């Protein structure tokens, strides 16, 4: 702390003229705002503050124009809002500091952050608005924007995803002609019953993962793994109808818009908040999962409707899903799940079970052909 | 320090750089800032960063004259909003270009990251320019000329060369980039330059480079590297004939980094333990049936509760880590580094005239928005 004591004859000042003869008037250091010359001055507290150097007035500052700025411990550093922006007056003695504080009324304006309440208030308002936008605004905007996205763009996006899906699942398209003919027949029936008008491209992929996917732009993949778990054509038909629901609702492009919007807004919300990535990740997972569950729920409703239109029961689809996943309630955290829980979906489809009124979707021979579309399978 | 002045034969005035900022004040400032950051979901960061700079700048003095930081939080906020206005359309275009390229070949859009790297370097240059123009000493401000893009492409080429040589060219990268930044820095009408060579840095730090290939000692290597880098940097800075020397040793920052690691690990174990105890006690309090596995039951029956608990734990750790980093790695390193320095030929910085205008805080906003670190 020694270095900050008001010791002007130290090597720092190095001014021989600071002799002890002029003790009464308080000392200060003045920078005139033009150069960095350190001018040793005295202060005269008149109606205005007179800054005097070697007996001559160097400057006169009005008390109301004085503002305190950072000056280091123990130093009162002043600027003059009516003067040059960098002109500074530094007072290190407590007595003249007190004198200034008593006379200058607006010393503290613009200092520190006394507006903390306002910052907190505005931040809370911003958080509320972002949360509301994420929960209600983004789905609404996505809903309105989806019809505006041209089909050609969606197909282009589908091309990108297609490349990635094939890279990830390593799936080759199964080529058995009879199996593909049976699959095409099923797809055509479902499409007529559900009035899906956009062109569809469907294929069975030789992947052992039990799944089916709809890509943007009307591409539907059935994975052989799911096909092999199915016991009858109605089970697979329900799943394909579900995927058609995604295509019909253009869910993929909607999800792209929704997830892009939320991740941007949530990132904005947390900003650079110390290591916020995990918080962002959690928040995004929750929001995306809730969007996703809504979307899946409506695709299920679409599948049920389509199966009813064909005079077939949607219940077998629920049984197939349950066979694939088993009971999920004790393994999955509901609010983080992307789909409604399988047991809930099976319940829903069982409730919609009706005796068959329409013809079989595929004949037993066609079903056998479809099962073998990726080559003859080993007996279970 | 005074001895050098009184010794007479020394050619010019010299002074040890002093730091007088009180640690307790800083801790109070940072503690309050961390809580406000929590309450405002991070929006307080502009005010906290400004307060921290006020504290560091005004605590640092040469010949008894403390520096002054004249930037405001409002400028940082506006800089951030401008950065958003620039980044949002870029992200959108990036997304569309990405789709076009990926269509040709899966995962081919990775090189577009290069563009963002260059943008980050631009931001680093502009952020330093902002800080320089908000730094005042003895009533004269620093300022910077030069172009952010000219800096960015230099930085990209040097980074590429550095990666290509497995870090071998890092010292030359540092010195070339620093030379660019420093030759555009001015204190009033006194221009700065940078004279430390990459070779000097290489001679001091080559052993760290070799050790870095072993991966394990990185928590030891990094503090030593920072110390060597800081000393080299301080000793390379020139304003006319004014120059600096530093007595910072390679091990001088080790304690600060390890204190940070130690506090964070300690706090994480405490927070993890508290989480475990609460998670173990809750099933009993909420009446879990006998025979149910506590934590599984809890996750299944009260998922919101367990996620909330996890978030509270996580936020507590994040806040504490931020607090410790600011106390040790921001203030601690600053104090250690600046007080290691002695200025020579101070008379060369007398009678400097005020020059140069203020730069916008756009660079600071971009640094914030792009999450890049640099100085």
| Tens digits of residue pLDDT in B30-47 | 999 999 988 887 788 889
**Residue of A34, A112, A274 lying closest to B354 (CB–CB):** A34
Q: How far apart are CA B322 and CA A24, in angstroms?
A: 50
Identify how many contiguous H helices and E strands chain A contains and give both numbers.
12, 10
Cα of first residue to Cα of last residue in chain A, in angstroms, is 86
Checking if the pLDDT of A115 tops 90, the result is no
Say yes or no: B3 contacts chain A, CB-CB below 8 A.
no
Interface touch B68/A273, C-beta < 8 Å: no
Q: Which domain does A53 fall in, by range?
A: 2-103
**Residue A63 shares a structural domain with residue A169:** no
Checking if the pLDDT of B127 tops 80, the result is yes
Q: How many domains does chain A have?
A: 2
Residue A134 lies in a domain: no
Q: Checking phi first, is residue B374 left (phi over 0); if not, alpha (psi -120 to 50) or beta? A: left
- How far does B204 lie from chain A, in Å, by closest CA? 33
Say yes or no: B261 contacts chain A, CB-CB below 8 A.
no
> Parallel, antiparallel, or unpaired: how do β-strands B237-239 and B190-194 relate?
antiparallel
- How far does B254 lie from chain A, in Å, by closest CA? 23
| Tens digits of residue pLDDT in A45-87 | 989 999 999 888 899 999 999 999 988 888 899 999 998 999 9
Checking if the pLDDT of A361 tops 50, the result is yes
Where does the pLDDT of residue A143 fall: very low under 50, low under 70, confident under 90, or very high at 90 and above? confident
- How far does B344 lie from chain A, in Å, by closest CA? 13
Q: Which residue of A has its CA nearest to B36?
A: A120
Query: Is the separation of the CB atoms in B112 and B94 below 8 Å?
Result: yes
Question: Which residues make Cβ contacts (< 8 Å) with residue A156, sequence separation at least 6?
Answer: A217, B99, B100, B103
Q: Tell me whether residue B38 is exposed, middle or buried, using C-beta atoms within 10 angstroms of its C-beta: 0 to 12, 13 to 18, 19 or more.
A: middle
**Residue A232 shares a structural domain with residue A365:** yes
Interface touch B318/A35, C-beta < 8 Å: no
**Residue A193 shares a structural domain with residue A336:** yes
Chain A residues within 8 A of B103 when measuring between CB atoms: 156, 159-160, 163
Chain A residues within 8 A of B139 when measuring between CB atoms: 31-33, 35-36, 86-88
Give the domain CATH number at A52.
2.30.29
Say yes or no: B189 contacts chain A, CB-CB below 8 A.
no
**Residue A290 shares a structural domain with residue A157:** yes
Q: Which residue of B has its CA nearest to A167?
A: B106
- Is residue A41 within a helix (H) or strand (E), and if so which, with residue range? strand A39-45
- How far does A333 lie from chain B, in Å, by closest CA? 6
Query: What pLDDT sits at residue A2?
Result: 41
Say yes or no: B353 contacts chain A, CB-CB below 8 A.
yes
Residue A277 lies in a domain: yes
The residue-averaged pLDDT of A252-261 equals: 81
Residue A144 lies in a domain: no
Say yes or no: B166 contacts chain A, CB-CB below 8 A.
no
Checking if the pLDDT of B2 tops 50, the result is no
Checking if the pLDDT of A293 tops 50, the result is yes
| Tens digits of residue pLDDT in B219-274 | 888 999 999 999 999 999 999 999 999 999 999 999 999 999 999 999 999 998 98
Mutate to test the interface with B, among A36, A109, A149 (most CBs of B within 10 A): A36
Say yes or no: B313 contacts chain A, CB-CB below 8 A.
no
**Residue A236 shares a structural domain with residue A319:** yes
Q: For chain A, what percent of residues have pLDDT higher than 90?
A: 27
| Tens digits of residue pLDDT in B262-288 | 999 999 999 989 888 887 787 777 776
Phi, psi at residue A306, to the nearest 5°?
-65, -45
Q: Which residue of A has its CA nearest to B302?
A: A333
Query: What pLDDT sits at residue B189?
Result: 93
Residue A380 lies in a domain: no
Interface touch B45/A271, C-beta < 8 Å: yes
- Domain stops at, among A41, A72, A103: A103
**What pTM was estimated for this model as a whole?**
0.77
Q: Which of B39, B41, B69 is nearest to B53 (CA)?
A: B69
pLDDT, greater one: B307 or A312: A312
**Residue A168 shares a structural domain with residue A289:** yes
**Residue of A4, A70, A164 lying closest to B69 (CB–CB):** A70
Chain B residues within 8 A of A134 when measuring between CB atoms: none
Checking if the pLDDT of A378 tops 70, the result is no
Residue A333 lies in a domain: yes
- Domain stops at, among A72, A103, A134: A103
Checking if the pLDDT of A9 tops 50, the result is no
Residue A143 lies in a domain: no
Checking if the pLDDT of A159 tops 60, the result is yes
Interface touch A38/B138, C-beta < 8 Å: yes
ipTM value > 0.85:
no
Checking if the pLDDT of A14 tops 60, the result is no
Question: Which residues make Cβ contacts (< 8 Å) with residue B33, sequence separation at least 6?
Answer: B44, B47, B48, B51, B52, B326
Interface of B with A in 40-79 (CB under 8 A): 40-45, 47, 51, 54, 57-59, 61, 63-66, 68-70, 72-73
| Tens digits of residue pLDDT in B170-196 | 999 999 999 999 999 999 999 999 999
- How far does B41 lie from chain A, in Å, by closest CA? 6
- Domain stops at, among A86, A103, A120: A103
If one counts every other C-beta atom within 10 angstroms of the C-beta of residue A33, the result is 18
**Residue A97 shares a structural domain with residue A208:** no
Q: Which residue of B has its CA nearest to A159?
A: B103
**Residue A239 shares a structural domain with residue A349:** yes
Say yes or no: B299 contacts chain A, CB-CB below 8 A.
yes
**Residue of A35, A116, A333 lying closest to B352 (CB–CB):** A35
Residue A215 lies in a domain: yes
Say yes or no: B35 contacts chain A, CB-CB below 8 A.
no
Query: What pLDDT sits at residue B276?
Result: 85
Query: Is the separation of the CB atoms in B71 and B361 below 8 Å?
Result: yes
Interface touch B353/A333, C-beta < 8 Å: no
Residue A236 lies in a domain: yes
């Amino acid at each position: 702390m020694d270095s900050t004591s008001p010791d002007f004859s130290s090597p720092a000042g190095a001014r021989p003229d600071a002799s002890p003869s002029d003790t009464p008037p308080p000392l200060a250091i003045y920078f005139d705002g033009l150069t960095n010359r350190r001018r040793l001055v005295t202060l005269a507290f008149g109606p205005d503050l007179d800054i005097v150097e070697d007996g001559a007035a160097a400057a006169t500052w009005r008390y109301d124009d004085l503002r305190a700025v950072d000056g280091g411990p123990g130093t009162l550093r002043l600027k003059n809002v009516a003067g040059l922006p960098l002109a500074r007056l530094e007072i290190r003695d407590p007595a003249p500091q007190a004198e200034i504080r008593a006379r200058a009324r607006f010393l503290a304006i613009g200092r520190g952050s006394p507006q903390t309440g306002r910052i907190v208030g505005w931040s809370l308002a911003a958080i509320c608005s972002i949360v509301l936008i994420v929960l209600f605004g983004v789905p609404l905007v996505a809903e309105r924007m989806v019809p505006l996205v041209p089909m050609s763009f969606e197909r282009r996006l589908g091309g990108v995803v297609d490349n990635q899906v094939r890279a990830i699942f390593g799936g080759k398209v199964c080529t058995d002609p009879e199996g593909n003919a049976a699959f095409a027949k099923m797809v055509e029936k479902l499409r007529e019953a559900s009035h899906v008008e956009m062109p569809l491209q469907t294929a069975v992929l030789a992947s052992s993962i039990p799944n089916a996917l709809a890509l943007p732009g009307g591409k539907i993949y059935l994975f052989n793994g799911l096909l092999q778990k199915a016991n009858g054509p109605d089970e697979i038909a329900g799943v394909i109808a579900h995927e058609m629901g995604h295509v019909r609702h253009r869910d993929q492009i909607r999800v792209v818009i929704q997830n892009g919007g939320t991740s941007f807004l949530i990132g904005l919300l947390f900003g650079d908040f110390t290591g916020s990535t995990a918080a962002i990740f959690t928040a995004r997972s929750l929001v995306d999962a809730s969007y996703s569950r809504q979307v899946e729920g409506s695709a299920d409703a679409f599948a049920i409707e389509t199966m009813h239109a064909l005079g077939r029961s949607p219940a077998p689809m629920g049984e197939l899903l349950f066979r694939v996943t088993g009971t999920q309630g004790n393994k999955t955290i509901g609010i983080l799940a992307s789909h409604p829980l399988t047991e809930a979906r099976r319940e829903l489809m069982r409730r919609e079970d009706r005796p068959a009124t329409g013809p079989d979707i595929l004949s037993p021979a066609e079903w056998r052909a479809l099962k073998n579309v990726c080559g003859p399978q080993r007996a279970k | 320090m005074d001895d050098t002045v009184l010794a007479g034969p020394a050619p010019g005035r010299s002074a040890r750089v002093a730091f007088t900022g009180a640690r307790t004040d800083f801790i109070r400032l940072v503690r309050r800032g961390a809580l406000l950051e929590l309450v405002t979901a991070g929006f307080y960061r502009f005010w906290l960063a400004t307060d921290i700079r006020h504290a560091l700048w005004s605590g640092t003095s040469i010949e008894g004259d403390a520096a002054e930081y004249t930037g405001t939080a409002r400028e940082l906020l506006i800089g951030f909003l401008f950065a958003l206005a620039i980044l949002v359309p870029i992200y959108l275009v990036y997304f569309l270009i990405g789709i076009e390229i990926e269509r040709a070949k899966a995962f081919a859009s990775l090189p577009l990251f290069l563009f963002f790297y260059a943008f980050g370097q631009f931001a680093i240059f502009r952020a330093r320019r902002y800080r320089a123009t908000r730094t005042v000493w003895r009533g004269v401000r620093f300022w910077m000329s030069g172009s952010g893009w000219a800096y960015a492409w230099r930085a990209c080429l040097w980074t590429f060369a550095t990666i290509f040589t497995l870090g071998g060219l890092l010292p030359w990268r540092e010195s070339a980039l620093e030379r660019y930044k420093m030759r555009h820095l001015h204190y009033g009408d006194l221009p700065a330059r940078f004279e430390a060579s990459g070779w000097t840095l290489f001679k001091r730090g080559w052993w760290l480079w070799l050790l870095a290939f072993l991966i394990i000692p990185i928590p030891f290597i990094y503090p030593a590297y920072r110390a060597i880098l800081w000393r080299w940097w301080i000793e390379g800075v020139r304003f006319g004939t004014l120059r600096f020397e530093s007595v910072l040793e390679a091990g001088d920052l080790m304690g600060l980094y390890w204190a940070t690691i130690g506090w964070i690990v300690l706090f994480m174990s405490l927070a993890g333990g508290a989480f475990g105890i609460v998670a173990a006690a809750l099933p009993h309090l909420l009446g879990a049936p006998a025979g149910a596995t506590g934590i599984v039951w809890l996750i299944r029956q009260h998922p919101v509760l367990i996620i909330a608990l996890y978030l509270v734990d996580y936020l507590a750790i994040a806040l504490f880590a931020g607090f410790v980093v600011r106390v040790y790695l921001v203030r601690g390193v600053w104090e250690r580094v600046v007080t290691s320095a002695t200025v020579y030929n101070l008379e060369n910085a007398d009678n400097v005239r005020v020059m140069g205008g203020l730069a916008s805080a756009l660079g600071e906003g971009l640094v914030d928005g792009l999450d890049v670190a640099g100085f």
